[in-house]
């Protein structure tokens, strides 16, 4: 069983919040690169997230931490198609899902209906629309922290909407870091390494929270439907035009991707679950 991780004492008030914001700002993509493509890298790929929701199953540290604070109502922030919340359905009396993508929420709504799970969906960016969202017994938020430059506001709003517990899941380091060799090879651009989950812990401690954290093995992830699907997703993430697909394919293969069973490049073998109790 995974063991809780002990962290260093919190650093000076405000240092962690500023550091997190600065580290994420370093991931900004130069305008000369984004201006050359129509599909921006942060456009959510609904099909990819829907496939992840369909492949998700009960189990794992994040699921266990949420179940221990249920049954009750559940809020899923940055829900995508429901990979975090739908495996909890037997323990949930009502699900509220928040996401910036209406298409994602439609995909979640369809899947929740098949499970007979009462669901409300709200389109918007957290925490900007937090005032429109009712509180729930448990709040889950998977793989969103690295998209939140103002992590202090983001996490404080999660706490404010939880009656019992907040459960956060993220990769140990920025999820786009495995693409750094491709940025260097295909754009000649050096990308940053931080932040990491330990930086997130420090931000939470600066907020006065008392988070627990556990590293645990990532469940096997479904392969992409085809090598072409992986190329299309990676092309968008790298802001490449379609006419460079052959070049991208060669680079992926050189970095160890198997075209017969294509997975995301350099997928981390571990996940981190962070949780804290409220009330």
Q: What is the pLDDT of residue 7?
A: 41
Q: Collapsing DSSP states into helix, strand and coil, what is residue 168?
A: strand
Q: What is the pLDDT of residue 8?
A: 39
Per-residue pLDDT reduced to its tens digit, 102-140: 999 999 999 999 999 999 999 999 999 999 999 999 999
Distance between CA 259 and CA 193 in Å, rounded? 27
Per-residue pLDDT reduced to its tens digit, 161-188: 999 999 999 999 999 999 999 999 999 9
Query: Which residues of the chain fall short of a pLDDT of 70?
Result: 1-13, 43-44, 266-268
Residue in the structure block whose two tokens are 């140990």: 172
Average pLDDT over the chain reads: 92
Q: Which helix (H) or strand (E) holds 20?
A: helix 15-25
Which pTM does this prediction carry?
A: 0.91
Pick from 220, 209, 211: nearest CA to 271: 220
Q: Where are the beta strands (DSSP E) in 50-199?
A: 72-77, 92-99, 119-123, 136-142, 162-170
The CATH topology of domain 15-277 is Rossmann fold (3.40.50)
Q: What is the pLDDT of residue 262?
A: 92
Pair 152, 203: CB distance under 8 Å: yes
Q: How far is CA 174 from CA 24, 145, 186, 197, in A?
A: 9, 9, 20, 8
Pair 52, 169: CB distance under 8 Å: no
Q: Collapsing DSSP states into helix, strand and coil, what is residue 55?
A: helix
Q: What is the pLDDT of residue 3?
A: 46
Domain boundaries defined on the chain:
15-277
> What sections of 40-138 are H helices per DSSP?
46-55, 61-67, 102-114
Pick from 112, 129, 48, 103: nearest CA to 74: 112
């Amino acid at each position: 069983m995974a063991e809780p991780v002990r962290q260093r004492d919190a650093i000076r008030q405000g240092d962690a919040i500023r550091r997190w914001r600065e580290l994420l700002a370093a991931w900004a993509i130069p305008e000369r690169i984004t201006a050359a493509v129509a599909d921006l890298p942060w456009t959510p790929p609904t099909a990819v997230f829907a496939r992840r929701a369909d492949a998700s199953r009960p189990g794992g540290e994040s699921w266990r931490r949420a179940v221990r604070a249920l049954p009750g109502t559940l809020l899923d922030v940055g829900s995508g198609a429901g990979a975090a919340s739908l495996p909890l359905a037997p323990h949930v009396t009502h699900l509220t899902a928040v996401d910036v993508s209406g298409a994602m929420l439609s995909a979640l709504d369809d899947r929740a209906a098949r499970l007979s799970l009462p669901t409300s969906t709200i389109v918007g960016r957290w925490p900007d629309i937090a005032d429109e969202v009712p509180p729930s017994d448990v709040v889950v938020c998977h793989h969103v922290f690295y998209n939140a430059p103002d992590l202090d506001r983001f996490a404080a709003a999660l706490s404010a909407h939880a009656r019992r517990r907040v459960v956060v899941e993220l990769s140990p380091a920025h999820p786009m870091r495995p693409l750094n060799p491709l940025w260097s090879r295909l754009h000649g651009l050096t990308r940053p390494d931080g932040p990491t989950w330990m930086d997130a812990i420090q931000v939470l401690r600066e907020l006065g929270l008392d988070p627990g954290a556990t590293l645990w093995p990532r469940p096997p992830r479904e392969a992409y439907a085809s090598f072409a699907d992986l190329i299309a997703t990676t092309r968008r993430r790298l802001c490449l035009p379609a006419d460079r697909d052959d070049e991208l394919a060669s680079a992926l293969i050189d970095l160890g991707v198997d075209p017969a069973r294509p997975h995301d490049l350099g997928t981390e073998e571990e996940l981190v679950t962070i949780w804290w109790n409220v009330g």
